[in-house]
Chain A
Amino acid sequence: MQTLLQLFFTALQIGAVYILFALGLTLIFGVLRIVNFAHGQFFTLSALIVSVAVPWFANGGSPVWLAYTLACLCGVIVTSALGALVYEVGFKRVERDMTGSFILSAGFVLMIEGVFTKLFGGIVRPVPPLVDGNIDVFGISVAAQRLVLCGVAAALTLLLTLALGGTRFGKALRAVSIDHQAAMLQGISYRRIGFGGFVAATAIGAVAGALIAPVAAVSPTLGDAYLVKGFIAVVIGGMGSVPGAILGGLFIAFVESFVGFYFDPSVASLAIFVLVMAVLLVRPKGLLGHE
């Protein structure tokens, strides 16, 4: 029972980050029909900035929580700016061209990752812990830091889902992703929504990166592993579907923590792959996808 509960918590923690990552991917695909491989690089950039900025702010004399907040803000703002730039220079010209935009994003992956390696070096950067100590929850001991991160991620996911359902911008995003021509006929500006959607998705990815920085080994290739899992989550849930991304993210996190514990982490990765194949055999458009 102890172990089960512990595993359940681990799954929720990594699941929250997977969900945030997959949400960005599915938004970009839904709105712009872009399979964006460069999403992992935005995620990495934010984590890298946090890993550099936290010690910098902390040395400047600010308390740990303030250093973290400032660093996260920096990470998200800089990453969103990069996202806006990449969209304006590149993706705007190949929108709704699935193959062309994918190839373009692959080019950005190589370029951005190469630049990161030059700028930050290939070394792993440890980030000092946000909160020290452990907290007892239901009789099991959980690292306080992970609990905080998990809470923030869960709150953000909830907020996002509500925003997508409730706000004008969220409704316009969903309308465009269901049928962009019909949405344009209703007076929704595709250009504006496309730009807004891309930057919003990038910012979500940046938040996920900033959240993972304290608990992960931050290096310029951090995003690659998340890219595979994020895309698998999106494929399982159905591309372009927001509830699908949440479901897929949780699914992968649970398989990873349970199979990873009882067998081996690499067996878990293989199991995830086999399960995706099985899902696609039964439901070629993903669990919650539609034509």
Chain B
Amino acid sequence: MNERFFRQGLLAVALAALLSVAAGSGYAGNLVIWIAIAAVLASTLRFVLLIGELNFAVAAFFGLGAYASGAATTLWQLPFGLSILTSGVVALLASAAFGYVTLRVKGPYFLLIGFAFTEALRILYTRSEWLGGNSGMVGIFPPAVLGDYFPTFVVAVAGALILLLARIEHSHLGRVFVAIRDNDSVVRSVGIPVHAMKVLCFCIASLVAGVAGALQAFSNNVISPLDFSFMLSTFALAYLKVGGERHALGPVVGAVLLVLLASVAQRFGGSEQIFYGAAIVFGVLFMPDGLTGWLARRRTARAKTALPSPAGEMQ
């Protein structure tokens, strides 16, 4: 089942990348890019949820990645690939330090300290003149070679990242993470260093979020401190909650659905904020397991009702 899942996953990513070629680089292309980035962000949120923590600092590491790429490209003139790598490494190092200190606390404390960290980083950006201060950085362009195929590139990278997270989740390491969520004392009792494992999980998710931030910087060309407020974490939460957190596909489904619906709502003059808020409230109250959870339950319900009927035909 595992093998099949990844073969199908790879196929789906390839298909999505091919489809995104049709979107071109206009408005549709930007929409495709944002869907891909949103799916990655929501997936990292889900990944940290494996150890049972809600990572509200996701916007902070996304922002760190974006700023690292911005600095690498415009200040140090590093090549494109190296810039994206820098983003990942910066997010990884920062999250290792942040996670080492904060993962000692759990639940609401961890959540709130992530929230505070996001806002503290934003203040730091506005204070840093070399990072453009309040107005941010401009001129972060992807290489000309990619041209109109930049959305395709983003979709391919995003798909690979999501598959990577799913791969880790299904590995031995992923089982350790889930075991920590279920009962960390048991995990500690068999000699697994719980704290180190939690930090590792957090670092992997933040690395991915950092790379997503780099993609965002290159696609937007402009970044400013305002782009990385805690609202971004809330949006990621909306994608995850509407899609469902039980299945690895949940964040992707949520991102595709909400981004498309929000763009339609905006065309009719609605507010993006109200729309996302309503989606979260509706999701929590009426679909606690999200769309994927709802579909899975319907499928098992149908399988149950379908079972007796072949027996009936036999008679």
Whether A90 contacts B109 by the Cβ 8 Å rule is no
- 16 additional A-B pairs beyond A94-B284, A102-B54, A284-B105, beta carbons within 8 Å, are A35-B111, A89-B285, A99-B54, A106-B237, A107-B241, A107-B278, A107-B279, A107-B283, A110-B238, A113-B273, A114-B273, A114-B274, A117-B271, A239-B108, A277-B101, A277-B113
Whether B281 contacts A270 by the Cβ 8 Å rule is no
Interface residues of A in 79-120 (CB under 8 A from B): 89-90, 93-94, 98-100, 102-104, 106-115, 117-118
Whether B120 contacts A269 by the Cβ 8 Å rule is yes
B102 contacts which chain A residues (CB < 8 A)?
277, 280
Q: Which of B121-129, B155-163, B294-302 contacts A (4 or more CB under 8 A)?
A: B121-129
Contact of B109 among A94, A113, A118, A239 (CB under 8 A): A239
Q: List 28 A-B contacts (CB under 8 A).
A: A29-B108, A90-B281, A99-B54, A104-B285, A107-B238, A107-B241, A110-B231, A110-B234, A110-B277, A114-B273, A114-B277, A117-B273, A118-B274, A231-B115, A234-B112, A266-B123, A266-B127, A267-B127, A269-B119, A269-B123, A273-B116, A273-B117, A277-B102, A277-B113, A280-B113, A281-B101, A284-B109, A285-B109
Main secondary structure, interface of B, reads: helix
Whether B108 contacts A100 by the Cβ 8 Å rule is no
Whether B113 contacts A100 by the Cβ 8 Å rule is no
A239 contacts which chain B residues (CB < 8 A)?
108-109
Whether B112 contacts A35 by the Cβ 8 Å rule is yes
- Residues of B participating in the A interface, judged by any CB pair closer than 8 Å: 54, 101-102, 104-105, 107-109, 111-113, 115-117, 119-120, 123-124, 126-127, 231, 234, 237-238, 241, 271-281, 283-285, 288
Q: How long is the Cα–Cα vector from A106 to B126 in the complex, in angstroms? A: 25
Q: How long is the Cα–Cα vector from A90 to B121 in the complex, in angstroms? A: 32
A93 contacts which chain B residues (CB < 8 A)?
285
Q: A90-B285, A107-B277, A110-B234 are in contact. Are A235 and B109 (CB under 8 A)?
A: yes
Whether B284 contacts A107 by the Cβ 8 Å rule is yes
Main secondary structure, interface of A, reads: helix
Which chain B residue shows the least CB distance to A113? Answer: B273
A-B interface, 5 closest residue pairs, ranked by CB to CB distance from nearest: A107-B280, A111-B277, A110-B277, A114-B274, A114-B273
